[in-house]
Amino acid sequence: MPQLLLELFSEEIPARMQGQAAKDLERMAREHLAAAGFLPEALKTFAGPRRLTLVAEGLPLAQADRKEELKGPRVGAPQQAMDGFLRKAGLTQDQLVEQNGVWMAFVEKKGRPTAEIVAEMVEAIVRGFAWPKSMTWGTGKLRWVRPLKRILCVLDREVVPFEIDGIVSGDVTEGHRFMGDAKPFVAKDFDEYAAGLEAHYVVLDVEERKERILEGCKTLCFARHLELVEDIGLLEEVAGLAEWPTPVLGDMDPSFLDLPPEVIRTSMRTHQKYFAVRKPGEAGLAPHFITVANIEAKDGGKVIAAGNAKVLSSRLADARFFWDEDVKTGFEPWLAKLEGVTFHAKLGTMAQRVDRIVALAGEIAPLVGADVAKAKEAARLAKADLTSQMVGEFPELQGVMGGYYARHFGLDAEVAAAIEGHYKPQGPSDAVPTAPVSVAVALADKLDTLVGFFAIDEKPTGSKDPYALRRAALGVIRIILEAGKRFPLSEVLKPAHARAHEAATAGLWRFKATDEGKLVEGGPVLIDETVVRDLIAFFADRLKVTLKDQGKRHDLVDAVFALGDDDLARIVARVEALDGFLKTDDGKNLLAGYKRASNILKAEEKKGPLPEGQAEEPAADSAAEVGLYQALRLLDRPLKDALAKEDFTDAMAQLAELRGPVDAYLDGVFVNDPEHRDNRLKTLAAVRAAMGLVADFGLVAG
Amino acid sequence: MPAAPKSFQSLILTLHNYWSEKGCVILQPHDVEVGAGTLHPATVLRALGPKPWNAAYVQPSRRPGDGRYGENPNRLQHYYQYQVILKPNPANMQDLYLGSLEAIGLDLRTHDIRFVEDDWENPTVGAWGLGWEVWCDGMEVSQYTYFQQVGGLDVSPVAGELTYGLERLAMYVFGVDNVYDLPFNDPDSPLGALTYGDVFLANERQQSEANFHGYDVAVLKQQFEQMEEQVPLMLARSYKNETLVLPAYDMVLKASHLFNLMNARGAIAVAERASYIGRIRDLCKMCAQKWVELQEAA
C-alpha cells in the first residue's frame, strides 16, 4: 500500500518546541486523514532542529467510491422547496425517485484522489499549526516558527503537487548545514529519505540523537576515567540543538573547583548547555565538561574544546567574582536591599514578607519542635540571598547560595540548613526538609505565599498556576506528613492568616491597577475568613491528588474528608485503613448493608423527620433485631477506644462485627411495620452513626 | 579569498567589504549616543514601512552602567556593534550570515556554529522579533533577529537584523583574553602597532567615573524632561509636507541615553524604571507612527 512522506524544512526550530511539534503534527495528520476516511496502517512523526517529518504507511491512492442517499422534499411540496433542494444538491429532477411519499436521490460519489486530500491536509496543517510563538518573514504573510524553506511531499513515490504562499512542494530536501556535500538531494520515499539524511549527516529521530549523545559522552568519559553527571532535561535540550550531535570533552581550569559545585553545574548548564563530569564514586565535579557540537570537526574537535573551555573560564571567572563580592557584602546589606524588592505588586515588598515569615516561623516552631529563636533567625535570613550577585545571575540557586554564605560566615548549622532548604520540596521528586528549624521556615514561607495570593484572588485556574501555589500546598502537605510532630492544619493556617490580616489592615497589601501604563493605587486588600476556608478546601484537593497518585480511590478520600478533620496524618491513616477494609469480604458486604440501611433512612426522611433517641431493646422473639441491638451495644466502647487510639485498622475490625447482624436484620426485619417503625428506624440510624465515626460510607462508590 | 583579518579594524573592514559586495549600503555610525546598533535610525525607522532597505554599519554603543574603569577584561561602557539590516530579509539570509563568518576567518568545518533560540526585544523602542543567538564554540558571536514589531507597529515586509558584538568576536578570532590587548591596527604596522587599550582605555576610565559619579542628576533629569517635551513639538512641524520625524527621533535617542545615565548614577528607583521606559517607548511610537505615514504616502 502506498506511503506518504512529508517534510517541513525550516530554519532552526527552538529545541524546547520540537517535542510538542512532533505530537501536534501527528495529531493533526491523523484527524485530517480520518476525516477523509483513511486509517493509515502506521503513522510516525519526527522533529529536529530544522525539520518536522511525517511518514504514513498504507494509504490507498484514492478514497473509496461512496453511495449517498439524499432526502428531498415531500411529494407535492411547493416547487420552491424542490428548486432549492436541486440547487443545493446539484441535481436535476429526473435523477430523483419517489419513495414513501418523499423524493430521494441516490448519488454515486466518486472517491477523490488521495493526493488531492493530502495537498489540502498539508496546507491546513501548515496554516493551522499551533507554535507557541510564530512569525512572518520576507514579504510573505505565512506564519511558521522560523522561516519555512521547503516542503517535501511524496505519495507513492510521486510528488503531491501544491503551493503554499510561494513554497512549491517537491521531492527534494537538504542534509546537514556544514557536513557532507551540503547539496540538496531527492527522496521519493521514507527509505530513500532516511538513507539520504544519514549520508548527509542528519540523525532524524530524537531518540537516536539522544542515544548518540549519551554513547558519545560515555565513550569520552571512559577514555578519561570519568563519569557523566546525567541530566535528562539537558539531554532533551541539546538533542534539539544539533542534527549531527557530537560530544566533545573539554578541560576546565581546576582552580575553579573551589566554587560550589551547584554554581559550576548551573553555569555549565544554563549558560553553556554542557554536561558535567565527575570521578567515578566521587561526589564533587571533575575539572572537565562535555559540550555537544553539531559537527565532527576536521581537527577532531580540538578548536571546539579549546573555544568552549575559554567561554566556560570567563563564565566561571564571573561566578568567582560574584562569590568574592558576595562574601564581602554579607547578609545585613542584602536584607536592607530587600526593602526595594517588590514581592508582588499587590503584596508589598520582600522585606515586609520577611517580617511576616519571621513571625510565622516563630509561631510554628513550637508545633514542630524547633528552637523558636533559631527558626526566627533562619526566617529572617532566608530571603537575603535574593539580592546577592550570585543569585542575581543564577536565580535557580536561591536558597542554595544562602546556605553556602551562611556557612561561610559561620552561622549556626541548623540556621544555615534552614536557609538552604526552605524552598524545598520544589517538585514531587525533591526531598522534604525534616530538621525542625528547616520545617518551621519552609512552612512559614509557603503558608505566607498561599495566604497572600489567595487574599488577592490569584488562585490557580485550570492549567494556569503562575505562582506555583499547587506546588506550595503540596509541599506543606508533604512536610507535615513527614514531620515528626502531629498538628492540625488549622494550627498553622490561623497564624498565617493573622499575619496576612495585619499586613492588609496596615495597608501594606494594596491593589494596584494599570491605567494606560501608569500604576494607580487602589484600596487595601481585604482579608476575611473565606480565605482560610478556601485554603483548607485547596489543601483538601491537593491531598486528594496526592493520595490518588498513590493509588488510593478518590471516593475513599472524599469519604474521610467529609468528617471535617484537618489532621493530615490522621486523614491518610483513615484512608489507608478504609482502603484495606473495603478489600475484605466483610468490608464489601457491610458497605452494601450500609447502603441499604441508608436508602431506607433517606426514603423515610422524605416523609418527615426521623425519630430521635436511642432504640429500645427489641422483643426477645425477634432474633435478627436482638442480634443487631446487641452488636451495636457491644461495638460502642471498643470502636470509640480504637478511634481514640487512632487505630483505624482496629476500628474497621470492630465495624466488621456488624456485618452479620446488619445482613440478618435487613433480610429478616420489615422496618416499616407500623407498630415498630420508630424503634427500627432508630436502630438503622444507630448503624449509620456508628459507621459514620470512621468515614462517610455514603460517599464510597459501590 | 582575501586573507583573514589580523586586527580589530581589519575585521571591521572585512565585514564592510563582505556586506558591500552583497549589495548593502555601508553607512557610518549615527552621531547621537545610543545603547545599541538597533537604535540607529537606519534600523529602527527603516525597518518600518514598505520600502526595501539593506544596510550595514558600525555603531558605537554606550551602556553607562557597564563601565568598569578599564579594569574588567570583558566589560566596556563604550563598545562597537556591527549591524546589518536586510529588508525584506532574503531567503538565503542565514547563508549570507554564515558567509560573513567565513570571511573573517572562521572555518565552519572546524568551529561549531549553532543557532540557539533567543527571542529579542527592546522595550524602550517597542520592538521585538524572533531569532537566535548564534554560538561559535559555545560563545555568542551574534544576535540574529527577524523583526516582527518596531515602535509598537507590525512590520511588513519583515527585516532581518544581524548584530555582531565586535570586541567579543575579535577577541575570539584573535585568541585574546583581554579586550585592551586586541590589536587595533595591523600588529606589523610601519607606523606603530596600537592596541584597543591604547585607543580606548583612557576613555573607559574617564567615562566610567563620569557615568557613576560625574553627571549631575538634577541636570540629567531636566534634560530628559526637555527632550520629552520637545519630541511632540518637533513632530508637529513639517517641511514641504514632510513631518520632522528624523530630528524628533534624535531627541528620543537623547532622552534614552539620558535615562541610561540617570540609571547608572543610581538615580532611578526600581519602581520608576518601568515608567521611564514607558515614556521613552511612547515617544518612540509617535515617531514610528509618523515615519510609517510618510513612507506610505511617498
**Shortest CB distance from B111 goes to which of A16, A136, A304?**
A304
How many C-beta neighbours within 10 Å does residue A50 have?
23
Residues A46, A170 share a domain = yes
Q: Is residue A558 in some structural domain?
A: no
Closest chain A residue by Cα to residue B175:
A307
Partner residue opposite A295 with nearest CB, options B91, B112, B148: B112
Q: Do B109 and A138 touch (CB under 8 A)?
A: no
Residue A174's CATH number: 3.30.70
Contact list in B for residue A272 (CB cut-off 8 A) is 138
In tens, the pLDDT along B145-186 reads 999 999 999 999 999 999 999 999 999 999 898 999 999 999
Measured between alpha carbons, how far is A230 from A242 in angstroms, rounded to an integer?
Answer: 19
Provide, as residue numbers in chain A, all residues whose Cβ is less than 8 Å from the Cβ of B172.
307, 310
Residue A528 binned pLDDT confidence (cut-offs 50, 70, 90): low
What is the pLDDT at residue B79? 96
Residue A14 shares a structural domain with residue A152: yes
Percent of chain B whose pLDDT exceeds 90? 86
Q: What percent of chain B has pLDDT over 70?
A: 99
Taking residues A501-508, what's their average pLDDT? 76
Question: What does the pLDDT look like over B121-148, one tens digit per residue?
Answer: 998 899 999 999 999 999 999 999 999 9
Residue type at A265 in one-letter notation: R
> What are the CA-CA distances from residue A246 to residues A270, A297, A480 (Å)?
19, 9, 47
Determine the residue among B53, B115, B174, B283 to mutate to test chain A binding: the one whose Cβ has the most chain A Cβ atoms within 10 Å: B115
Q: Residue A524: is its pLDDT beyond 60?
A: no
- Residue B222 zone, left/alpha/beta (φ > 0; ψ -120 to 50; rest): alpha
Same domain flag for A211 and A308: yes
Residue A96, SS3 per DSSP: strand
Give me the torsion for CA of A310, A312, A317, A322, rounded to 10°.
160
Q: What does A476-495 look like in DSSP terms, one character per residue?
A: HHHHHHHSSS---HHHHHHH
Q: What is the pLDDT of residues A227-268, one digit of tens each?
A: 999 999 999 999 999 999 999 999 999 999 999 999 999 999
- Residue that is written with C-alpha cell 464489601 in the block: A588
Residue A702 has pLDDT above 80, yes or no: no
Handedness of CA A603, A606, A611, A614 (dihedral sign): positive
Residue A474, C-beta contacts closer than 8 angstroms, at least 6 positions apart: A425, A428, A542, A545, A546
CATH number for the domain spanning A646: value is 1.10.730
Is A596 inside any structural domain?
A: yes
| DSSP state for residue A8 in the 8-state scheme | E
Helices B8-21 and B93-103, axial angle in degrees (round to 10): 140
Tell me which chain B residues have a C-beta less than 8 angstroms from the C-beta of A518: 275, 278
Cβ pair A642, A648 in contact under 8 A: yes
Nearest CA-CA partner of B150 in B190, B110, B116, B123: B123
Question: Is residue A567 one of the residues assigned to a domain?
Answer: no
- A178 burial (CB, 10 Å; 0-12 / 13-18 / 19+) is buried
**Radius of gyration over every alpha carbon of chain B, rounded to an integer in angstroms:** 20
Strand partners for B142: B134, B164
B90–A138 C-beta distance less than 8 A: yes
pLDDT value of residue A222: 94
Does A601 share its domain with A684? yes
Report chain B's terminal Cα–Cα distance, integer Å.
Answer: 41
Query: What is the DSSP annotation of B29-95?
Result: PPSS--SSGGGSHHHHTTTSSSS-EEEEEEEEEE-GGG--TT-SSS--SEEEEEEEEEESPPTTHHH
Can you tell me the distance from the alpha carbon of A241 to that of A15, in angstroms, rounded to the nearest whole number?
A: 6
Which of B98, B112, B177 shows the shortest C-beta gap to A304? B112
Q: Cβ(B5)–Cβ(B105) under 8 Å?
A: yes
Task: Report in angstroms the alpha-carbon separations of A562 from A263, A486, A575, A641, B160.
Answer: 48, 20, 12, 21, 62
Dump pLDDT digits (tens) for A89-113: 888 888 888 888 888 888 888 889 9
Its pTM stands at 0.80
The percentage of residues in chain A with a pLDDT greater than 70, rounded to a whole number, is: 97
Break chain A down into helix, strand, coil percent, rounded to 5.
55, 15, 30
3 state SS of A60: coil
Integer angstrom CA distances of residue B53 from A278, A609, B86, B126: 52, 87, 6, 20
pLDDT at B271: 63
**Cα dist from A316 to A268, A276, A319, A389, B50, whole Å:** 9, 14, 5, 13, 46
Size of interface A-B (CB pairs under 8 A): 110
The residue among A140, A167, A199 that closes a domain is A199
d(CA A509, CA A502): 10
Contact at CB, A136 and B89, closer than 8 angstroms: no
pLDDT at residue A89, rounded to an integer: 82
Residues A80 and A169 in one domain: no
Do β-strands B53-62 and B25-27 pair in parallel, antiparallel, or remain unpaired?
parallel
A303 vs B88, B110, B269: nearest CB: B110
Residue A280 dihedral angles phi and psi, to the nearest 5° = -55, 135
- Nearest by CB: A241 against B90, B116, B278: B116
Q: Which residue of B has its CA nearest to A268?
A: B138
* Contact across the interface for A15 and B117, Cβ inside 8 Å: yes
Residue A30 lies in a domain: yes
In whole angstroms, give the CA distance from residue B229 to residue B231: 6
Residue with cell 512542494: A169
**A403: burial class by Cβ within 10 Å (0-12, 13-18, 19+)?**
buried
Chain B positions touching A306 (Cβ under 8 A) are: 137
End residue of a domain, out of A199, A234, A265: A199
Any B CB within 8 A of A12 CB? yes
Name the residue facing A308 among B74, B91, B137 (closest C-beta): B137
> Taking CA atoms, what residue in A is nearest to B118?
A14
Identify the weakest region by mean pLDDT among A57-71, A518-532, A654-668. A518-532
Cα-based distances in Å from A332 to A343, A362, A385, B247? 19, 20, 10, 49
Enumerate the residues of chain B whose CB falls inside 8 A of the CB of residue A517: 275, 278, 282
Domains of chain B: which residue ranges? 8-208, 215-297
Domain boundary residue, one of A300, A327, A354: A327
C-alpha gyration radius of chain A: 35
B108 chain-A contacts, CB cut-off 8 A: 178, 295
Q: What is the DSSP string of B128-178?
A: EEEEEEEEETTEEEEEEEEEEEETTEE-SSPPEEEEEEHHHHHHHHHT-SS
Residues pairing with A74 in the sheet: A102
Q: Is the pLDDT of residue B273 over 90?
A: no
Assess contact for B112 and B137: CB atoms under 8 A. yes
The verdict on whether omega for the bond into residue A425 sits within 30 degrees of 0, i.e. cis, is yes
Please indicate, yes or no, if residue A556 is contained in any of the structural domains.
no
Cβ atoms A434, A294 nearer than 8 A: no
- Cβ atoms within 10 Å of A258's Cβ, excluding its own: 9
Which residues are A135's β-sheet partners? A144
Q: Name the band, by pLDDT with cuts 50, 70 and 90, for residue A513.
A: very low
Q: Which of A404-408, A560-564, A582-586, B229-233 shows the lowest per-residue confidence on average (mean pLDDT)? A: A560-564
Structure confidence at residue B133 (pLDDT): 95
Residues of chain A neighbouring B275 (CB-CB closer than 8 A)? 517-519
* CB spacing of B117 vs A16 below 8 angstroms: yes
Looking at the complex, report in whole angstroms how far the Cα of residue B174 sits from the nearest Cα belonging to chain A: 12
Contact list, A308 vs chain B (CB under 8 Å): 137-139
What per-residue confidence (pLDDT) applies to B238?
95
| Structural domain that includes position A347 | 333-551
Chain A, residues 506-535, CB within 8 A of chain B, namely 517-519
Instruction: Inspect the interface and report whether the beta carbons of A340 and B269 lie closer than 8 Å.
Output: yes
Query: B157 and A139: CB-CB below 8 Å?
Result: yes
Question: What's the confidence (pLDDT) of residue A208?
Answer: 97
Same domain, A97 and A120: no
- Candidates B89, B138, B271; nearest CB to A308: B138
| Record: contact B109-A298, CB cut-off 8 A | yes
Interface of A with B in 253-312 (CB under 8 A): 272, 274, 291, 293-295, 297-299, 303-304, 306-308, 310-312
Q: Does A514 score more than 50 pLDDT?
A: no
Instruction: Name residues 305-364 of chain A within 8 A of B (Cβ).
Output: 306-308, 310-312, 314, 340-342
Nearest to A139 among B88, B112, B160 (CB): B88
Residue A565 lies in a domain: no
CA distance A63 to B174: 64
Residue B182: the pLDDT is: 96
Pairwise CA distance, residues A543 & A473, whole Å:
9
Sign of CA dihedral A89, A92, A95, A96: positive
Search chain B and give the residue with CA nearest A338.
B270
Beta bridge partners of residue A521, listed in sequence order? A512
Can you list the pairs that A395-403 forms with residues at least 24 positions away whose Cβ atoms lie under 8 Å? A396/A266, A396/A270, A397/A262, A397/A263, A397/A266, A398/A423, A399/A423, A399/A424, A400/A260, A400/A262, A401/A260, A401/A263, A401/A326
Task: Say if CB A578 and CB A554 are below 8 A apart.
Answer: no
Distance from the Cα of A388 to chain B's closest Cα (Å) equals 16
Tell if the CB–CB gap between B275 and A519 is shorter than 8 Å: yes
| CB contacts, 8 Å: B112 with chain A | 248, 291, 293-295, 297, 304, 307
The nearest alpha carbon in chain B to A245 belongs to B112
Q: Model confidence over A324-344: pLDDT tens digits?
A: 989 999 999 999 988 878 788
Whether residues A185 and A39 fall in one domain: yes
How far are the Cα atoms of B59, B79, B84 from residue B164, in angstroms, in the given order?
A: 10, 11, 9
Residue found by looking up cell 491523523 in the block: A30
Cis, peptide link before residue B157, omega less than 30° from 0: yes
Region B51-67 average pLDDT: 95
Closest to A590 in 3D by CA, of A672, A687, A669, A699: A687
Residue A559 lies in a domain: no
Residue at A575: amino acid letter: V
Residues of chain A contacting residue B157, judged by C-beta atoms under 8 Å apart:
138-139
- Judged by CB atoms closer than 8 Å, whether chains meet at B109 and A179 is answered as yes
Residues of chain A positioned with their CB less than 8 A from the CB of B113? 177-178, 294
Residue partners of A336: CB distance under 8 A and separation at least 6: none
Contact B89 A138 (CB under 8 A): yes
- State yes or no: cis peptide before B88, omega within 30 of 0: yes
Indicate the pLDDT class of residue B266, thresholds 50, 70 and 90.
confident
Residue in chain A closest to B115 (alpha carbons) equals: A12
* Most confident listed range (A178-192, A601-615, B256-270): A178-192
Residue A345 grid cell = 505588586
Query: For residue A593, what are the contacts with CB-CB under 8 A and spacing of at least 6?
Result: A658, A659, A662, A663, A666, A687
Query: What pLDDT score does A499 carry?
Result: 84
Please report whether residue A91 resides in a domain.
Answer: yes
The answer to whether A213 touches A224, Cβ cutoff 8 Å, is: no
For residue A562, pLDDT over 50 is answered with: yes
Residues A543 and A639 in one domain: no
The class of domain B8-208 in CATH terms is alpha beta
Identify the pLDDT of residue A503: 81
How close B157 comes to chain A (CA, Å)?
5
Q: Which fold has domain B215-297?
A: Methane Monooxygenase Hydroxylase; Chain G, domain 1 (1.20.58)
Interface test with A, best of B112, B132, B134, B176 (most A CBs within 10 A): B112
Contacts (Cβ under 8 Å, ≥6 apart) of A270: A394, A396
Instruction: Provide the domain count of chain A.
Output: 5
With an 8 Å Cβ cutoff, are A297 and B112 in contact? yes
pLDDT at A380: 96
Among B121, B152, B142, B117, CA closest to B131: B117
Q: Rounded distance, CA A9 to CA A54, Å?
A: 12
Residue A517 pLDDT exceeds 50:
no
